[in-house]
């Protein structure tokens, strides 16, 4: 007969202490001075092999902010709150992790997206802007990076192109950007006619790329941006938003970028919800349904920029939506 019961398991500390007499065991613990708590998390990187390629997911941290009432355009806030609670989250807090990734293809060292940048580290009291620190902890020298591939022009993907001194964070890398993104965001007519809420993003792109002398290489979809890494059009989140297929020796990893964005699991569970960060809700929805239907059928491993670190998951169909099945952490490589 098992003795496990509600009283023993669910009692809170005070009740448990009151209810239970300390076993003789506890009384004989030697009175060694307690070791102080460490108070520091492990470094935020994780390695995964794709064929002969070495993939390192490197977290930039997590942002937690109040959920705006209009966070999902086609849902009342009550539905959003209920969904967050069902996902074990605070019902009115938007939690977004950031997972840039580094791929060593064997011939090129490639960074895909760059996080919010080191300037954000101090501003967020260390919660964000961790990418360059974690990159160093992962043993990767940013001076050795050959190419930085940008998926789209939101600040959490491009701001990390700059180091703390506002100079190139990857001084020896070619900066590769989607041609459609460049044409859209750097166009002055688009800026002039943009709604007020979007102007900041236009100006931020000018700030970041301007600091780099606007020296970028534009790329198109359905092409290898680097041998072994193919860009795949995944429009909707932004006009030129890209995903990637990293492949080597019959193995493959899909880097989805922001096919689901912000509180991304919300849109995995509810692919028909149109989040405020998606510029074109219906197109973004079509993109994610297509990607997830194909990936579920093929059991493809996907890396989500905004999924919980390390962000490597399978996607399963579940009712009218999807569900993430995280790949198990491998303590060796």
CB of 282 to a copy of itself, least distance (A): 10
Query: Which of 150, 161, 169, 243: binder of a copy of itself (CB under 8 A)?
Result: 243
User: Is the CB of 69 or the CB of 298 nearer to a copy of itself?
Assistant: 298
Taking the CA atoms of residue 232, residue 158, residue 127 and residue 169 in that order, the dihedral angle to the nearest 10 degrees is: 120
Does residue 95 touch a copy of itself according to CB under 8 A?
yes
Total of residues contacting a copy of itself (CB under 8 A): 115
Applying CB under 8 A, the span of 43-51, 155-163, 182-190, 196-204 interacting with a copy of itself comes to 43-51
Q: Is cis: bond before 310, omega within 30 of 0?
A: yes
Q: Please select the residue that binds a copy of itself; options are 79, 82, 144, 164, rule is CB under 8 A.
A: 144
Which residues from 177-216 bind a copy of itself, rule CB under 8 A? none
Cβ-contact 130, 120 below 8 angstroms: no
Contact between 59 and a copy of itself per CB under 8 A: yes
104 upstream amide cis, omega within 30 of 0:
no
Tell the smallest beta-carbon distance from residue 128 to a copy of itself (Å).
9
Residue from 310, 312, 321, 322 touching a copy of itself (CB under 8 A): that is 310
Q: Binding of a copy of itself at residue 250 (CB under 8 A)? A: yes
Least CB distance to a copy of itself at residue 17 (A): 7
**What's the CA gap between 100 and 161, in Å, rounded?**
12
* DSSP E strand boundaries for 179-293: 217-219, 224-226, 229-233, 242-248, 251-257
Tell me the DSSP string of 72-91: BTTS-HHHHHHHHHHTTS-T
């Amino acid at each position: 007969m098992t003795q496990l019961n509600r009283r023993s398991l669910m009692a809170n500390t005070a009740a448990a202490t009151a209810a239970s007499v300390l076993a003789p065991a506890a009384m004989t613990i030697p009175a060694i001075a307690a070791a102080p708590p460490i108070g520091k998390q492990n470094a935020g990187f994780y390695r995964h092999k794709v064929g002969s390629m070495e993939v390192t997911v490197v977290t930039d941290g997590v942002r937690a902010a109040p959920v705006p009432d209009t966070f999902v355009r086609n849902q009342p806030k009550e539905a959003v709150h209920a969904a967050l609670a069902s996902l074990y989250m605070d019902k009115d807090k938007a939690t977004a992790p950031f997972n840039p990734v580094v791929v060593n293809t064997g011939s090129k060292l490639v960074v895909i997206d760059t996080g919010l940048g080191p300037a954000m580290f101090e501003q967020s009291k260390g919660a964000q802007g961790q990418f360059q620190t974690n990159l160093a902890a992962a043993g990767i020298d940013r001076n050795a990076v050959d190419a930085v591939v940008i998926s789209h022009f939101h600040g959490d993907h491009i701001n990390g192109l700059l180091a703390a001194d506002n100079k190139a964070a990857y001084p020896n890398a070619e900066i590769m950007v989607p041609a459609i993104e460049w044409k859209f965001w750097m166009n002055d007519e688009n800026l002039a006619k943009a709604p007020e809420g979007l102007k900041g993003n236009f100006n931020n792109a000018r700030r970041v790329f301007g600091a780099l002398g606007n020296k970028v290489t534009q790329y198109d979809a359905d092409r290898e941006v680097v041998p072994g890494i193919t860009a795949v059009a995944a429009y909707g989140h932004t006009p030129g938003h890209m995903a990637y297929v990293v492949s080597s020796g019959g193995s493959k990893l899909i880097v989805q970028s922001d096919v689901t964005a912000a509180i991304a699991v919300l849109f995995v569970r509810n692919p028909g919800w149109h989040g405020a960060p998606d510029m074109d809700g219906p197109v973004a929805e079509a993109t994610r349904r297509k990607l997830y239907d194909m990936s579920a059928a093929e059991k493809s491993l996907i890396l989500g920029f905004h999924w919980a670190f390390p962000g490597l998951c399978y996607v399963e169909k579940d009712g009218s939506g999807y569900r993430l099945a995280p790949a198990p952490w491998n303590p060796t490589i």
